[in-house]
Amino acid sequence: MHFIAQAPELDKCVASFKAYTARQIIDFLQQQKAERLLQRLHFAKVAHKHDREFQFWQEGVHSELIFSDAMMREKLDYIHANPVKRGYVNLPEYWRYSSASNYAVMGGLIEVDTR
């Protein structure tokens, strides 16, 4: 998942988000008895991790300071191009979970500050 965000103590916010969403998704998969997915998440768990049975999110946060409008545009273009590069959609704004449609003035799933 890629996103652009600003918050005091952003690393703690992201860690909290990852912990909460991982727990919710794993609980849901267990309720649905999605054994194949759970096996993959168990396999993904790093060998030295003893405090959990599954690994949903990749370890770490790779934050990068955006210091100019040009860099912001570069990061947005990169994020928006990912579903196209993967072959999921033909145009970035067609990816339902992307902010690309907000920037194309089509609206999106959530409100995005495009200024």
Cα separation, 95 vs 82, whole angstroms: 10
Average pLDDT of span 6-11: 89
Query: pLDDT tens digits, residue range 11-39?
Result: 899 999 999 999 999 999 999 999 999 99
Give the best-scoring range by mean pLDDT among 45-54, 79-88, 97-106.
Answer: 79-88
Produce one character per residue of 54-68: b if its CB has 16 or more CB atoms within 10 Å, e if not.
Answer: bbbbeeeeeeeeeee
Highest mean pLDDT of the ranges 5-9, 33-37, 43-47, 109-113 = 33-37
Tell me the per-residue pLDDT of 73-86, one tens digit each, with 9 for 90 and over.
999 999 999 999 99
| Domain boundary assignment for the chain | 1-60, 64-115
∠105-95-108 over CA atoms, to 5°? 40
pLDDT at 58: 85
**CA 41 to CA 29: how far, in whole Å?**
10
> Which pLDDT value is given to residue 48?
67
Answer with the residue of higher pLDDT: 113 or 26: 26
pLDDT per residue over 51-75, tens digit each? 889 999 988 777 888 999 999 999 9
